[in-house]
Amino acid sequence: MSDFLMALIGTIGALFILLAAIGMLRMPDFYLRVSVATKGGSLGVGLILVAAAIHFSDFGITTRALAILFFILITAPVSAHLLGRVAYMSKVGLWKDTSRDDLAEEILEEEANELKIKDDRHNPEKADLM
């Protein structure tokens, strides 16, 4: 019974990893690729780790497997978010059918605010107030 459960969970995990790999190859855009790699990769490896925990059924090894799973689930979104943001800043192109780009407006507003602060510095009366 536990063998069957282990094989089932391992198969689902391997299929998730295969889907992530196909998505890496087929997705049209860097940002979509990041999304696929993070979700598919961490889910697939997590399921394989759960299969290992069922196979050994030992307290120490189950704790180790859950620690690796926890670490991957925490760090994968952080690195994906950082990489996506930096790629946007270094102007990696978006897909032609992307319908929504909230970060562009935010960056425009930030640049406008910076220009305003610079103008205030050039004006001596307002600079005293700052």
Least distance to other proteins, CB of residue 46, Å: 9
Residues making up the chain, counted from first to last: 130
Half-sphere exposure of 109 (CA within 13 A, CB side): 5
The pair phi, psi for residue 27, each rounded to 5°, is -65, 145
Residue 73's nearest CA partner among 46, 37, 33 is 46
Any contact of residue 103 with other proteins (CB under 8 A)? no
Residue 20's nearest CA partner among 44, 40, 43 is 40
Q: Taking CB under 8 A as the criterion, which residues in 40-79 touch other proteins?
A: 41-42, 44-45, 48-49, 51-52, 55-56, 58, 60-61, 64-65, 67-68, 71-72, 75-76, 78-79
Tokens of 92: 């990696």
Q: Which residues bind other proteins (CB under 8 A)?
A: 3, 6-7, 10-11, 13-15, 17-18, 20-22, 24-25, 30, 33-34, 37, 41-42, 44-45, 48-49, 51-52, 55-56, 58, 60-61, 64-65, 67-68, 71-72, 75-76, 78-80, 82-83, 86-87, 89-92
